[in-house]
């Protein structure tokens, strides 16, 4: 996975910051960060303005939250931030509440290890709490006394599976070194925004990251890519077993046999056939994602063949509807992975009620934006995003064990004999 270049706008003048951001994007910047100084000087207006001005780019809010994590994440998310930072030095309860808010608003939480005594242990704990990104960061003042974020990067990389962002005085050489050491997001502030040629500096750093990462072979599979690969190899029964026999979504069935769908949820809350938000979700979702719709009715459909065709062209993985679907014959012909609780000939009206990428219920399960959705001939299961890699690995172990049992059955034993059921029944 190509490392992301995030440019930190540690500016206090918003107009200037926007101009710098546009020049940085011209040089190859992927994410644009509203730096802490900018947020302190302009508030959430900085986020809103960057979001409006820089369409299609992820806006990062470097809030450096230390307390009241939920409300600070909520305000930045509502202003348009896609990634929000809280300090790893804050209390676990702050981090947990910030994560709950991040899940609710469909944004990612980066937890900043700035000035943490034991960053490796803290990183492991933050991963357990559900952080989306670990920020390995040496602050500007620490840089002045010679501290370097690369000093701990390798040990943290070996300790956590979630994405790592690195920041702290990075230039073309150290940014490339960070990428080679496994950084997923390289954050650069001063060496781009305070350069005479912002575009040229961004381009130089972009190219050095790409060159070094390619040479060092360190473009490792992202966690998501590994997780997806495993989910593609296991069945929903394997996943259910890996989650202590968690049931599938209730009454939601595949549209055709031999179906397989793996993706991260883009959720839609709609009502009784109102197909505006479900269809708009096709513009929000991208390759590797699944549109999950709460329709609330088995008698009128918010989805059909035309919406399916548009999604299939974009590489969207499939659709799951708690409610009715229509055009099932045509959808079967194009084999767009679809699951629903009913099929009907009639659709509703595009009124526009409801919302995209909020927490919904589907098939009796809570589904948050970014949760993993896996469907096959058995049905659909939901895997919480913070446990996805672990569950995928556990499901693979279940599959391996079953492959072994199957081999013994094929040699003439019954299942009860192979698993020695009589011995392992719960004694009453």
Ligand X SMILES: O=C([C@H](O)CO)[C@H](O)[C@H](O)COP(=O)(O)O
Which residues contact ligand X (rule: CB under 6 A)? Answer: 8, 10, 35-37, 62, 139-140, 167-170, 187-191
Shortest Cβ 307–ligand X spacing (Å): 41
Q: Which is closer to ligand X, CB of 188 or CB of 230?
A: 188
Site of tokens 């992975």: 337
Shortest Cβ 110–ligand X spacing (Å): 11
Q: Which is closer to ligand X, CB of 35 or CB of 337?
A: 35
Residue closest to 297 by CA, chosen among 331, 365, 347: 347
Shortest Cβ 31–ligand X spacing (Å): 12
Residue closest to 293 by CA, chosen among 331, 256, 341, 336: 341
Site of tokens 């299939």: 312
Q: Which is closer to ligand X, CB of 86 or CB of 167?
A: 167
Shortest Cβ 181–ligand X spacing (Å): 17
Shortest Cβ 194–ligand X spacing (Å): 8
Q: Which is closer to ligand X, CB of 138 or CB of 396?
A: 138
Contact (CB, 8 A) for 204 and 170: no
Q: Which is closer to ligand X, CB of 35 or CB of 278?
A: 35
Shortest Cβ 191–ligand X spacing (Å): 6
Shortest Cβ 38–ligand X spacing (Å): 9
Which residues, 6 or more positions from 345, have their beta carbon under 8 angstroms from its beta carbon?
Answer: 326
Shortest-Cβ-distance residue relative to ligand X: 189
Q: In whole angstroms, what is the distance from residue 80 CA to residue 46 CA?
A: 10
Q: In whole angstroms, what is the distance from residue 60 CA to residue 46 CA?
A: 11
Q: How many other CB atoms sit within 10 Å of the CB of residue 411?
A: 7
Q: Which is closer to ligand X, CB of 175 or CB of 356?
A: 175
Shortest Cβ 174–ligand X spacing (Å): 10
Residue closest to 82 by CA, chosen among 357, 329, 423, 314: 357
Which residues, 6 or more positions from 319, have their beta carbon under 8 angstroms from its beta carbon?
Answer: 290, 291, 292, 293, 303, 307, 308, 311, 325, 336, 337, 338, 339
Q: Which is closer to ligand X, CB of 185 or CB of 188?
A: 188
Q: Which is closer to ligand X, CB of 88 or CB of 348?
A: 88
Maximum separation of any 2 CA atoms in the chain, in Å: 78
Q: Which is closer to ligand X, CB of 59 or CB of 307?
A: 59
Ramachandran area for residue 90 (φ above 0: left; ψ -120 to 50: alpha; else beta):
beta
Q: In whole angstroms, what is the distance from residue 236 CA to residue 375 CA?
A: 7
Q: Which is closer to ligand X, CB of 117 or CB of 420?
A: 117
Ramachandran area for residue 38 (φ above 0: left; ψ -120 to 50: alpha; else beta):
alpha
Strands (E), 348-421: 355-356, 360-362, 365-367, 372-376, 379-383
Shortest Cβ 36–ligand X spacing (Å): 4
Contact (CB, 8 A) for 362 and 294: yes
Shortest Cβ 402–ligand X spacing (Å): 48
């Amino acid at each position: 996975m190509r490392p992301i270049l995030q440019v930190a706008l540690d500016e206090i003048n918003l107009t200037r910051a926007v101009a710098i951001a546009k020049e940085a994007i011209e040089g190859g910047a992927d994410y644009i960060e509203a730096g802490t100084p900018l947020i302190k000087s302009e508030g959430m207006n900085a986020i809103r303005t960057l979001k409006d001005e820089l369409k299609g780019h992820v806006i990062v809010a470097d809030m450096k939250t230390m307390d009241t994590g939920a409300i600070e994440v909520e305000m930045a998310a509502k202003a348009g931030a896609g990634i929000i930072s809280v300090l790893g030095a804050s209390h676990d309860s702050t981090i947990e509440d910030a994560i709950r808010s991040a899940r609710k608003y469909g944004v990612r939480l980066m937890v900043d290890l700035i000035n943490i005594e034991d960053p490796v242990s803290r990183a492991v704990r933050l991963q357990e709490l559900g952080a989306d990104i670990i920020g390995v960061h040496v602050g500007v003042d620490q840089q002045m006394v010679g501290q370097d974020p690369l000093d701990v990067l390798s040990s943290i990389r070996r300790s956590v599976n979630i994405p790592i962002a690195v920041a702290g005085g990075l230039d073309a050489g150290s940014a490339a070194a960070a990428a080679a050491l496994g950084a997923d997001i390289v954050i650069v502030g001063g060496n781009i925004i305070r350069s005479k040629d912002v575009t040229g500096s961004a381009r130089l750093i972009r190219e050095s990251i790409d060159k070094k990462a390619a040479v060092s072979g360190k473009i490792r599979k992202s966690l998501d890519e590994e997780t997806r690969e495993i989910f593609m190899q296991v069945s929903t029964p394997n996943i259910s077993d890996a989650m202590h026999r968690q049931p599938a979504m209730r009454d939601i069935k595949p549209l055709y046999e031999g179906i397989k769908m793996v993706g991260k949820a883009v959720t839609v809350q709609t009502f009784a056939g109102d197909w505006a938000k479900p269809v708009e979700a096709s513009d929000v979702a991208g390759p590797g994602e699944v549109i999950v719709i709460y329709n609330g009715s088995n008698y009128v459909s918010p989805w059909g063949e035309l919406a399916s065709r548009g999604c299939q062209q974009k590489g969207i993985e499939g659709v799951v509807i708690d409610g009715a679907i229509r055009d099932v014959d045509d959808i079967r012909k194009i084999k767009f992975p679809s699951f629903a609780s009913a099929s009907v000939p009639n659709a509703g009206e595009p009124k526009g009620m409801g919302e995209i990428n909020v927490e919904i219920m589907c098939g009796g399960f809570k589904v948050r934006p970014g949760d993993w959705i896996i469907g096959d001939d058995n049905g659909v299961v939901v895997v919480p995003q913070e446990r996805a890699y672990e569950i995928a690995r556990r499901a693979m172990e279940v599959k391996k064990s079953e492959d072994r049992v199957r081999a013994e059955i094929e040699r003439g034993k019954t299942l009860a004999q192979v698993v020695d059921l009589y011995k392992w029944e719960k004694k009453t």
